[in-house]
A and B are shown apart, each in its own frame.
Chain A
Amino acid sequence: MSNNIYIQGLGIISAIGNNAQECLDSLQSRADGVAKMNYLQSAHKNELPVAEVKKSNKELADMAEMPASLTRTALLSTIAAKEALADAAIESITDWKIGFISANTVGGMDKTEDFFKDFLQDASKGKLRDVVNHECGSATEIVAEELGATDYITTISTACSSSANSIFYGARLIRNGILDIAIAGGADALTKFTLNGFNTLMILDKEPCKPFDENRKGLNLGEGAAYVVLVSERVMKTLGKQPYCKLSGYCNANDAYHQTASSPDGTGSYLAMKGALEKSGLQLTDIDYINLHGTGTQNNDSAEGTAIKRLFDPHYPKLSSTKAYTGHTLGASGGVEAVFASLAIKHGLIYPNLRFETQIADQPFAPETQLIRQDVKNVLSNSFGFGGNCSSLIFSKV
């Protein structure tokens, strides 16, 4: 039996769609999800555009068939994870060891913010039900129980690379015989905490973001959840459905330069991409498409570009960032982009990098600006974050 890990199901909810089909349609029709803040109640409502999931908590609760009192992160996570598992069409999940590996950056912070308003006035005040799901692991458990995927449960939080790490941790649990099936990815809802945090760092664009553009001014925060269903070869052979692709390479490296900033030479990003390539056994020239981390900040795009130049020059694959569509969904972004990579391979697509105008002066490549239809065999997906955490995944056609 081979060690291959197959991606058998996809589930996603983001600013550009409430499921994988809607997201795919939006990617193809250049319909981005960045807009004026509508659901998050923030003092920065009129000044900072965001990529919100276009549903209220009540509407999300109806979709998830869960109580609206849950955190928005738990609701988003439930919707995407249920879609992924249904899409995998596994007849009887109880026949297998099945686990749920999720990721997020601020847990139930959206409700904790409400709690804190009253709590700060009087420590005996604030509704406990608003803080009971504060921990990052809470949403994971709510969803794992809903899915019936409790043979192994954990949550990873490595800032913006969280769900790239949860996906390959899931794959490794399968390779090590701990699970047969892992539903893995991540979720993050927009919160005032993260919005204001990024705002203090002065890396939020007041206009829709322009990843990898010379005149980029920062990122737009987004929200969402996305999961892939990873299965062993043994499980895959029992299923009547072709897998989307396989997870062929992965690597986690650390930039070890600064708590929030990337090193100018992109050491962490370079090592993550290089390590993932080595793991996959592929050559540089085998990569058809790089789904960039591409947040739109000066620092990230410059460091990531430098790392790509260092690794790929002169054989640049086609590349683009999809964050101009979805915003930066933080703990969900690795999952969101894993779903996009899987769809790119299945449908033979390379997505446009929206709003790109001017090539970065010292970078010898530019992202794709139009939708391209071509055979896509191998996609490299980057997720880099605070704490120097850099992870890259490679998805390959079966």
Chain B
Amino acid sequence: MYIQALGNISPQTDFNQLPQKVDYTSNHLKAIDADITEFVNPNIARRMGRIIKMGVAAAMASMKEAGLEKPDAITMGTAYGCLEDTGVFLKKLVEQNETMLTPTNFIQSTHNTVSGQIALLLKTHCYNNTFVHRGFSFESALQDAIMLMNENDAAHVLVGAADEITDASHKILSRFDLYKNNVANSEELFSQHTKGTIAGEGSVFFMMNKKSSEKDYAILKDVTTFYKPIGNHAITDRINKLLSSNGLSINDIDVVINGKNGDVQNDRVYEQLEENIFSGKTSITYKQWCGEFPTSSAYALWLAANIAKHQQLPADKTNRSIKHILVYNHYQNIHHSLQLVTAC
């Protein structure tokens, strides 16, 4: 399917301004503030949780760029859902011993709030689905869109992902030893070779079309997910299978976007592939810009689409000839996914 338009509310959102080295002030990266005043009445906007604003802003930006009024379907992924509203309602529930509660936070806590709000704003009755499966959430939304097009049930699908960090969620996830304590910049993220990564968040939406709009960023040729592969060869098999089913081999891949996050154990999986199937390939990372979170692969697709369109690597103005890009990401070595992107 063709990637016609993009919307991105993440820690870094301008492809042409992506810094080679990012300075960090903490071990979590915050998404830019989403401005939705153009789309939403300020009274309504004020009550919206942060993830809803991020999702709505990213979705509306991609609709606007596409110049479309309504999509034929909306599919999205969120691993954690609306954490802020969930946390507030839960806190009050515990502290007030189930009394004096008000509905607003509960109403906005359901995982389909973002996609529901997008439907409300676009006044569209179309197919609307939300996937909530950890590191597969965004890929499932892509799979849904591909199938809707195969089935001739949709030609224009708004596909996206959104996840937010809250104070509580960051405290809890930190207790699982997921993050580095001292990391001053993106170079250190990858050079320390220690345990832990940097937390991230954000929302990216894509206007996907069955047919070319003549002004597309790129083509998403295929997506696949695989669960807990055993060993390096199982991952290599999946890569080869995906490529061959699209009439390609690894030799055709010009750029690999990998999901390295700075955690030494996590990154070993990628390093092993670099010694084998990816050896000699131009391989770039992306989590230094958006941080690590289960739906970060949407950011990787945003990056791939831009690389294909600009024919340049991020933070590098050299003009190149780039045809096929493979995005390979794994989340905690449980959820592995591949996205194959081809320049138009």
Contacts and interface: CB of A to CB of B under 8 A. Distances in A.
A255 B117 CA distance: 11
Interface in A3-33: none
Given A128-B176, A156-B129, A200 B106 contact: yes
Nearest to A144: B227
Given A120-B91, A172-B151, A389-B112, A138 B120 contact: no
Contacts of B258: none
Interface stretch (A110-118, A227-235, A282-290): A110-118
Contacts of B147: 172-173, 175-176
A154 B133 contact: yes
Contacts of B81: 136, 157
A300 interface: no
Interface string B145-171: 001001100000000000000001001
Interface in A65-86: none
Contacts of B102: 200
Interface in B75-95: 79-81, 86, 89-91, 93-95
A192 B93 contact: yes
Interface string A353-397: 000000000000000000000000000000001111100000000
A150 B120 contact: no
Interface in A253-293: 253-260, 267-268, 271
Nearest to B109: A197
Contact of A256 (B94, B123, B133, B227): B123
Interface in B117-156: 117, 119-120, 122-134, 136-137, 140, 143-144, 147, 150-151
Nearest to A156: B131
- Among B74, B103, B132, B228, max chain A CB count under 10 A is at B132
B137 A137 contact: yes
Given A197-B89, A386-B107, A387-B110, A254 B116 contact: yes
Interface in B48-79: 74, 79
B284 to A, nearest CB: 28
A302 interface: no
Given A137-B132, A254-B124, A259-B107, A152 B225 contact: yes
Interface in A148-180: 150, 152-159, 165, 169, 172-173, 175-176, 178
A267 B171 CA distance: 43
Nearest to B148: A172
A89 B171 CA distance: 46
A136 B133 contact: yes
A46 to B, nearest CB: 13
Contacts of B115: 387
Interface residues of A, number: 63
B134 A259 contact: no
B90 A112 contact: yes
B172 interface: yes
Contacts of B123: 256
A193 B80 contact: no
Interface string B314-334: 000000000000000000001
Contacts of B297: none
B175 A128 contact: yes
A140 interface: yes
Given A43-B99, A256-B124, A256-B125, A135 B116 contact: no
A159 B130 CA distance: 10
A112 B93 CA distance: 12
A146 to B, nearest CB: 13
Nearest to A169: B144
A190 B330 CA distance: 33
A1 interface: no
B38 interface: no
A135 B129 contact: no
Contacts of A152: 225
A208 B97 CA distance: 25
A267 B150 contact: no
Contact of B111 (A44, A136, A176, A268): A136
A281 to B, nearest CB: 15
A226 to B, nearest CB: 18
Contacts of B112: 157-159, 385-387, 389
A385 B116 CA distance: 10
Contacts of B101: 196-197, 199-200
Nearest to A256: B119
B175 to A, nearest CB: 6
A150 B227 contact: yes
A192 to B, nearest CB: 6
Interface in B155-208: 168, 171-172, 175-176
B136 to A, nearest CB: 6
Chain A CB within 10 Å — which of B90, B95, B228 has the most?
B90
B275 interface: no
B110 A159 contact: yes
Given A117-B94, A123-B171, 7 more contacts: A105-B111, A113-B90, A137-B136, A150-B228, A253-B125, A254-B128, A387-B119
Would you list the 8 A-B pairs with minimal beta carbon distance, nearest first?
A: A387-B116, A197-B106, A157-B111, A137-B133, A387-B112, A136-B132, A43-B98, A200-B103
14 contacts: A107-B132, A116-B94, A128-B172, A128-B176, A136-B132, A153-B133, A154-B140, A154-B225, A178-B143, A193-B89, A193-B93, A200-B103, A252-B127, A256-B125
